[in-house]
Structure 1
Amino acid sequence: MASLILVRHGESQWNLEQRFTGWADVGLTARGIEQMRVAGTALLSEGIELDVTFSSALSRCIHSLWILLESMDMVWVTQHVDWRLNERHYGALTGQMKMRAEERYGTLAVKEWRRGYAAQPPPLDEAAREYVNLDQRYAGVPARDLPKTESLSQTVGRVSKAWVEAIAPQLLYGRSVVVVAHGNSLRALTKIVEELSDAEVGQVEIGNGEPCIYDINAALKATNKRILMQDIKSPSHIL
């Protein structure tokens, strides 16, 4: 039996400010750092031993993973950074406060972009572009694969490739795998693992720093699930 542990990064500064973050490289708050320490301690108390780890290419996830591993005294565990686990790309919404976006585009439109499965926000514009730094970490990625906006459906599509090519093979070897990613990329993995419908996945809520532990059998099916809840809560939505 393999183990898959999904953990949303600790609270970021834009989570705190209720801004659409997406591919913007925003750092953790003090509360976010502490959330990841608590998450690591909780996993250690559960007797979890890790074999391999994955994170998105965004700093808030990489930093969160480092804190998690340090808290578990497992900094030596192999770490893979995979851009396909990045947060959903919010296009022109990137950097906007939720309230301001609702004033500009209308509450119903913003709700559909946040909760709908196929709806895309407007593509990246000049104002949002300054927040999205396509630097050396994306050097090997074909330009056609780098989005300018994404629906949740498209996010599921790219995360599915990471699942098939990178994560699932580790689970088939019976390994204990942790994935530190984002609200929407973890929604995508939850959809895959739990075989959720398109409608169901949009309603999935994932708290910062709350490990979700699955027991995974040889058919890559989840046979058990438990969530280690945080006492240090964030008011952040998945934005």
Structure 2
Amino acid sequence: MSSTSNRTLVLVRHGQSEWNLKNLFTGWRDPGLTEQGVAEANAAGDRLKAAGLHFDIAFTSVLSRAQRTLDLILDRTGQTGLETIRDQALNERDYGDLSGLNKDDARAKWGEEQVHVWRRSYDVPPPGGESLKDTGARVWPYYIHTIQPRVLAGGTVIVAAHGNSLRALIMALDGLTGEEIVSRELATGVPIVYRLNADSTVASKDVLDA
């Protein structure tokens, strides 16, 4: 394990998926990466390698777009075969009845204002789905009990997940309100590197974009 002064947490949203490209609500559905998504994951791996980051353990969701992104990153950083834990606690927000629908079609069916509320409010879920608050309710305990201890023990930990599961984590790490976090865009395939203090607060945050 790395030195206890390390305490590094890397968050990466998966590369562009086929349904991102088609403007569809994805949620727990399982489309693959596009060619651009593969390129984004490879670029993320190159940036992490250039930053000299060597991981002790990886976490990802049970969805293939996050797992493939992680595999590509680990291949580029020379860490194929790294211990990896997959858990649905890190899955994307469940969009319920919206899953698989084109966002424009959803607006035509329910109205632009209603769809905007479902997408961008903190605590209003779409029919049969989760709000961002609901997503946080499964992400936060998993982070506190499973991921954070590995970081605080001095590890360098990578989490490859999804826009909303990572938003929930970033909300807690950055001390943001529900209103603040829903307006934050999270780019695909761009690593965010946190260094934590011994008390689990954030010492520094760096975004490794192009």
Counterpart Cα distance in 2 of 1:198 and 1:33: 31
State yes or no: 1:52 paired with 2:57. Answer: yes
* Match of residue 205 from structure 1: 185
Does 2:25 correspond to 1:25?
A: no
Query: Shift in Å at residue 195 of structure 1?
Result: 1.4
Task: Give the superposition deviation at 1:58.
Answer: 0.3
Is residue 36 from structure 1 mapped to residue 41 from structure 2 by the alignment? yes
Matching of residue 79 in structure 1 with residue 84 in structure 2: yes
Residues 89-104 of structure 1 correspond to what in structure 2 (within 5 A)? 89-104=94-109
Percentage identity across aligned positions?
40
Find 1:217's aligned residue among 194, 197, 202: 197
Q: Deviations over 1:73-93 (max 9, x none)?
A: 011321110110000000000
Q: What residue number does 1:164 align with? A: 144
Match of 1:150, SS state, is: coil
Residues 11-22 of structure 1 aligned to structure 2 (within 5 Å): 11-22=16-27
* Distance in 2 between residues matched to 1:229 and 1:102, nearest whole Å: 32
The answer as to whether partners of 1:55 and 1:85 remain within 8 angstroms in 2 is: yes
Alpha-carbon deviations, 1:170-227, whole Å to 9, x = none? 0120100110000000000101111111111111111000000011111111111111
TM-aligned CA deviation for residue 151 of structure 1: 0.7
1:67 equivalenced with 2:47 (yes/no): no
Contact conserved, 1:82 with 1:162, CA < 8 A, in 2? Answer: no
Residue 50 of structure 1, CA deviation:
0.7
**Which segment is superposed worse, 4-13 or 196-205?**
196-205
Counterpart position of 2:125:
120
Task: Output the TM-score relative to the length of structure 1.
Answer: 0.84
Q: Which residue of 1 aligns with 2:10?
A: 5
Secondary structure class of the residue paired with 2:200? coil
TM-score, structure 2 length as denominator? 0.96
Instruction: Extract unaligned runs of 5+ from structure 1.
Output: 124-148, 231-239
**C-alpha separation in 2, matches of 1:40 and 1:60:** 15
> 1:162, 1:30 → 2: CA distance?
31
Q: In the TM superposition, what whole-angstrom CA distance separates every residue of 1:2-46 from its partner, at most 9, and x where no partner exists?
A: 111000001000000110000001100011011100100100001
Cα distance in 2, alignment partners of residues 101 and 229 from structure 1: 32
Measure, in 2, the Cα distance between the counterparts of 1:47 and 1:109: 45
Name the counterpart of 1:180.
160
AA in 1 matched with 2:145: E
Provide the rounded CA distance (Å) in 1 between the counterparts of 2:78 and 2:62.
23
What is the DSSP-based 3-state SS (H/G/I as helix, E as strand, rest coil) of the residue aligned with 2:158? strand
Distance 1:162 1:118 in 2: 20
- Residue pair 1:120, 1:150 contacting (<8 A) in 2 also: yes
Runs of 4+ residues deviating >6 angstroms: none
In 2: Cα distance, 1:162 partner to 1:36 partner: 24
- For residue 224 of structure 1, give the secondary structure of its aligned residue in structure 2: strand
Paired positions, count: 205
Letter of the structure 2 residue corresponding to residue 229 of structure 1: D
